[in-house]
Every structure is written in structure tokens, then in C-alpha cells.
Amino acid sequence: MHPFLAFLLACTSEPGPVPTEALPPLPPRLAERAEDRGVERPLREAVIAFTAEVRGEVEPCGCPTTPYGGFARRERLLARYREPGDPPLFVLDAGEMLAKPLPGKAPAESRGRAEAVMALAEATGLDAWAPGPLDRLVMPPEWLAARRAVSATWGPPFAAARVVERGGIRVGVVGLSAAVDGAPPRDAVSAVRDAMSGEADTWVVLSNAGAAVNRAVADGVAGLGAVLATAGENLEDPWIGHGAPVIETPGRGRYVTVLHLSLASTPGSWAIEDGGVWKSVASARERADAAGAGANVLGEAFGRDLATLAQHTIGRNVAVVSVRPLAPDLDGDTPLNALVETFHAEQLATARAEVGRPSALAYGTSAACSSCHSDRIASWGFDDHARAWASLESRQAARNPECVGCHSTGFGKPGGFSDLEPRLAESYKAVQCEACHGPMRGHAQQDGSGSTPITEATCRACHDAANSPSFDYAAYLRRISCSRMAVQDLPD
């Protein structure tokens, strides 16, 4: 045999079996570790509905692709969890609720919105909330503290916590607020520990202090059920560390996060369940609540699931998390509709007062602009801004002062208009030249008068994160018809 062939055969031959006695012995099998459970207590059930970062949104706007939200819809949703025989409902908010962060808003308008939002939140049964920096910016601390606001990090006049009792269940709520100028927060972990001094069946933290603080508190405070928080840059699934979970909720008040609680232990962290019998029981209750009082839709299977739930929950505190959209299926009559109409009337009164203020400036509207800038007006006619008012009419929102300001020119501004009667509003419809450039009636005859400089803040007065979430200043500016045209020799 050729020596190289013999070498190949030697290298590719399979090794023989290894004798059994040459293998090391297997380690003894470890017993399965039993799940840690607390001190067993009788099963009690409760529901927590919580929101965050409503940011002054009173009702749904049709501008976003998902026009959800509104306090009237929220009230109709929460009413489903208040049927006779249902577990007690607790309504909470993690803050940044009152202010709509738009540039150029008068302080009086911001305070009026804050008062309206708080009245609506209280009408939906708000039990406790943690104020955020924007809330404190628009309203004084004493006003916030008198309206169920809790903040362990800001200190007096805020209470650090409150215990809400309903239906024999006591929920302890601690507030954590983000830092503000001149009011650095206490260490969050020690602040929460000190605040949890009352008697409660479960403790939660309402937080707008940020993800790092939330996770430190969740892992560092024994006996805490969960941290209910504002979302970060992206809404995340519940975060599970070594202690309590951190549960975030979507912003803008367009969804409500509903937590179905099964409490069968001393106060401690909740186990988050997303399937099995917990989900079956929660889903069955959702169907029953949607069907309304008197509808018998639960059946025998629900009774069996409930008995199974009681067995699985022994010595544990369990939560099932669901996010409920405030969609058009929740439209209908509710006492909150009257509060919203009152808010609209106050907005119109504010607009009339502003229009009536003495001013050297006035709006000429596109009819006056066209006499010198006919080519730009012609180009503007193909721009989305020219169709802004038509989009309101298509949604039957042309009489809603919440919407009119960003779909017209000069609404509620000195020299502008405030009457929404079609005949009187006709000249101001759509986003015309002066909506961006400022009031310029007669500017060609006035020395030194001219266009207001356009900045990103000019656009973001309407293209905010709520109503124009994909807004990019540089990209949108290139799409505006007048910015694409050559510079004219006519007066500008």
C-alpha cells in the first residue's frame, strides 16, 4: 500500500467505543426548587387602571394615524369595571398630565387647560397621581398637592404617599417625581421605603423619574408590588429584575393600562402572568364588562377557571396586564361630554378676548397676499396647508376650538378671528401665509415691517409630538411650496 494512502486511512478511521468505566460519574440530580411564596392570605381581587403623560389632551384628535383617547371615552371604559359584583377599581396616573407643551401659549391658557384636565380626571375617579416637572411648571405645588398628588421625592407640600381603600382592599400609592430646577429629588429608594409606613394590601409606586430610578426602586425596596411608570423613548414590556416589576403605559391618554390583581399573600412583588388561567379569567371579565349589566356571558367555565386561579394564587400576588385603546367604539353619552363642552366654551371666550386686544398688527389673509404674490399663492394651493381646513370639515371638527387653531390662520390672536360661524371664518380657513409669517396686513405700505422669522419652534406649535409624531423640520420644510420657489423681486 502506498504510504500516503495508509496515512489517510489512519486519520479517517473512527475511534472505538470508550469503556464505560472510564467515564466520570454523573452528579446527583438536583431537586427542583419550589417557587418562593409569601405568607398565605385569603384571595382578594382588585383592578388598577393607570395612565401617564396625558399632556393636556382633552379629547381625541384626528391628526394622528390612531385618533384614540379622550376623557369621555376613558369614563365609558372605566364604567365597565364598576359593574355590581366586580372587584374594586383604583384609578391612578404617573404624571405629566396637565400641560400641553406648545411654544407661545399664554400662561392663562395653560392654567385654564390644567384646571379643565384635572376636573375631567377627577370626574373619572382619579385616586392618586405623581406630578411631573411640566405639571409643576404650569400650576403651583400647593394647587397640585390639594388634588391627590403624591411625591416622596419633592417633599412638602406634597404627601409622600396615600392609602386608598375600596371594597375592603387597601392600595398604598407612593409618588416619585423627576427632578426640577431648584428642587433636587431625595434618594428614590430611601424615599419610597420611608413612605411605605401605612397598612396596605399592596404597594405601588407611580413614577415619572426615569427608567434608571424606576429599576433601582423596583429592586431595592422590599414589599413593593410594582412600579407604574411613564414610558421612556419607546414603550417597553414589563421589566422584571430581582424585585418588583416596572410596568409602563402609553402616553397622551390614548390608552389605559388595566391591571387585574389576584392578591393571596402579604404585601410583596407581583408575578406578571400573560397566559393560562389568569388570562382566561381576565378575558372573561373583559367580555362580561363589555356586554354590560345583566348579560350572563361567563358560564360554568369561568367558575372552574376561578377555582383554578384560587389554587394557583395561594401565597402569591399575581397581575395580568392589558392595554386598552380608547377607540371610537367607546363613543357615546357620558356626563363628561358636558365638561368637555364647557372647556370648549372657555377656549372660545379666551380667543375672543385675545382678538379684541388692541394691536398694531392685523391679518390680511391670502386674498390680500395674492395681489403681490400671486405666483406663491397659486403654488400654495397645491400644498397640504391649503387643505388643512377641509380635513377638519371631513371629520366634523370645524367648530372644535381644540383643532381650529392649527387648521386656520389667526384664530384667537390679536388682529385675527374668533367666531367659528362659516360666513365669518371663511377668509381665515386653512394654513395661509400669515399662519407662519405672522400678521402682515398693509406691510407693503409700512416701513420696517416684514415677515416674522420662521424657526423650528414656529412649526412645532402645531406639528407637535402628539399630532405630528413623524415631524422632521428639515424634511418638512423642503416640502412646503413657497420654500421651493425662486426669490421674487416683489416686496416680501
Q: Tens of pLDDT along 218-249?
A: 999 999 999 999 998 788 899 999 999 999 99
Grid coordinates of 310: 384560587
In DSSP terms, 155 is beta-bridged to: none
CATH number of 40-292+301-330: 3.60.21.10
Q: How far apart are CA 438 and CA 386, in angstroms?
A: 17
Per-residue pLDDT tens digits for 458-488: 888 888 877 787 888 888 888 886 765 544 4
Lowest pLDDT segment from 18-32, 82-96, 111-125, 292-306: 18-32
Element (H, E) at 228: strand 226-230
**Mean pLDDT across the stretch 113-125?**
96
pLDDT at 341 over 80: yes
Per-residue pLDDT tens digits for 397-440: 889 998 999 999 999 999 899 999 888 889 999 999 988 888 88
- Span 358-484 CATH architecture: Orthogonal Bundle (1.10)
Q: How far apart are CA 267 and CA 205, in angstroms?
A: 13
Closest to 94 measured CA to CA, from 222, 247, 286, 245: 247
Cell numbers 407581583 label which residue?
A: 270
Q: How far apart are CA 455 and CA 475, in angstroms?
A: 14
**Mean pLDDT across the stretch 341-367?**
89
Closest to 389 measured CA to CA, from 169, 62, 156: 62
pLDDT at 443 over 70: yes
Answer with the residue of higher pLDDT: 65 or 438.
438
> What's the start-to-end Cα distance of the chain, in Å?
100
Q: What is the pTM of this model?
A: 0.82
Phi, psi of 43 (to 5 degrees): -65, 125
Per-residue pLDDT tens digits for 72-106: 999 999 999 998 889 999 999 999 999 887 655 65
> What pLDDT score does 203 carry?
98
DSSP strand E in 117-225: where?
126-129, 161-166, 169-176, 202-207
Grid coordinates of 6: 495508509
pLDDT at 66 over 50: yes
Considering the chain, what percentage of its residues have pLDDT values greater than 90? 48
pLDDT at 182 over 60: no
Element (H, E) at 392: helix 388-394
> What pLDDT score does 223 carry?
94
Q: How many CB atoms lie within 10 A of CB 437?
A: 18
* Preceding amide of 157 cis, omega within 30: yes
Every domain of the chain and the residues it spans: 40-292+301-330, 358-484
**Band of pLDDT at residue 27, cut at 50, 70 and 90:** low
Answer with the residue of higher pLDDT: 222 or 289.
222
Q: How far apart are CA 416 and CA 434, in angstroms?
A: 10
Cell numbers 406691510 label which residue?
A: 443
317-325 and 202-207 beta bridge pairing? unpaired
Closest to 436 measured CA to CA, from 400, 386, 370: 386
> What pLDDT score does 239 carry?
94
> What pLDDT score does 105 carry?
60
pLDDT at 131 over 60: yes
> What pLDDT score does 8 carry?
44
- Which three-class secondary structure string do you get for 447-459? CCCCCCCCCHHHH
> CB under 8 Å to 115, separation ≥6 — which residues?
none
> What pLDDT score does 466 carry?
76
pLDDT, mean over the chain = 84
Residues 196 and 266: beta-carbon distance below 8 Å: no
Query: Rounded to the nearest 10 degrees, how much is the dihedral formed by the CA atoms of 271, 275, 276, 281?
Result: 90
**What letter represents residue 75's amino acid?**
E
CA angle 283, 286, 292 (to 5 degrees): 145
Considering the chain, what percentage of its residues have pLDDT values greater than 70? 83
Residues 97 and 133: beta-carbon distance below 8 Å: no
In the three-class reduction of DSSP (H, G, I as helix; E, B as strand; rest coil), residue 72 is classed as: helix
317-325 and 126-129 beta bridge pairing? unpaired
> What pLDDT score does 183 carry?
55
**Mean pLDDT across the stretch 309-337?**
89
pLDDT at 33 over 60: no
Q: What are the residue ranges of helices labelled H in 226-363?
A: 276-291, 299-312, 336-355
Q: What is the CA radius of gyration of the chain?
A: 30
